[in-house]
Amino acid sequence: MRTYLSAALIVLVALLVPASAVAYWADRRLGDADHYTAAMAPLAKDPAVQEVVVTQATRALSGQIDAGPFQGAVDALLADALRSFAGTPAYRTAWETANRAAHTAFLDALNTGHGDAVTVDLAPVIAQVKEELMADGVPFADRIPETHLSVKVMEYDNLGDLREGFHVLQIAGIWLPVLTVLLAVTAVAVAVRRRRAVLATGAGLAVGAVLLWAAVGVCRRITLDDLPSDVDRPAAAAVYDALTAFLRTTAWVVLAVGLATALAAWLVGRLRRTP
């Protein structure tokens, strides 16, 4: 019975590894403004995301300026200015400000049920571009009004289900990972042959890590396939990868810990058999 109980606990540990990682990620990473902003910050240098920002902002700004016969030249000038601005520290600061506001809107949508997409308001970016253009003496730059442009980076259906699932993960938060560790320790403690139990537990952790890695990959494909046609897929893929980077790193760390634990238990057994 002790052997069966230990085996059942090890299987449960393997299944709880991906659930624990997702729960912790939702509560402490996705649900925290600082961590969310830090995860999105590298996207300021991503070419696909930059192109979406430049295209959308150029379209919005050109619609605010009536340059008459010079409209084409002004549009080209705006696009060039935006592309140049996208590589500056000021752009990265404006990007982080916009994403912090997007995080607030995302949590508000989850709490109130309003909205069906994750958007980034480019108002800070556009305001900074206007200042840069005016400082450089670009014609018509002073005519750019305050513009709020929301770029859609993720869209989701069934917000009610998403809200309920997110709240469950937040509640699980830190407790599910703690429970997983306790079950792993218990699996070894109740086993008749503890060295073999340690080896099996390490293997279980490795299996759980593989399940987590596979789940992230499958969800990525499903998320991108379900996007509307007007959403830029390379940019959306970059956003998904940035937000789930913690899960992929966790999968590799747990895999390394599991394999190292199993290998150590196996080596101890081999050494004991050596005359």
pLDDT digits (tens, 9 = 90+) for 176-223: 999 999 999 999 999 888 888 999 999 999 999 999 999 999 999 988
Q: How many domains does the chain have?
A: 2
- Whether residue 242 is contained in a domain is answered as yes
Average pLDDT value over all residues in the chain:
83
Residue 176 lies in a domain: yes
| 83 found inside a domain | yes
191 plus 236 within the same structural domain: yes
248 and 147 housed in the same domain: no
Q: Please check whether residues 80 and 166 belong to one and the same domain.
A: no
- CB count within 10 Å of CB 252 equals 12
Residues 189 and 260 in one domain: yes
Considering the domain architecture, whether residues 91 and 193 belong to the same structural domain is answered as: no
Choose between 129 and 118: higher pLDDT.
Answer: 129
pTM of the model: 0.81
153 and 165 fall within a common domain: no
Report the share of the chain in percent with pLDDT over 90: 32
Whether 216 and 142 share a structural domain? no
| Same domain? 147 vs 174 | no
Mean pLDDT lowest among 10-19, 23-32, 148-157: 148-157
Structural domain ending residue among the three candidates 106, 131, 158: 158
Is 37 within a domain? no
Are 69 and 88 contained in the same domain? yes
pLDDT given for residue 251 in this prediction: 96
Q: Which residue range(s) make up the domain with 243? A: 2-28+161-264
Are residue 187 and residue 260 in the same domain, yes or no?
yes
Examine the domain organization and report whether 64 and 151 are in the same domain.
Answer: yes
138/181 same-domain check: no
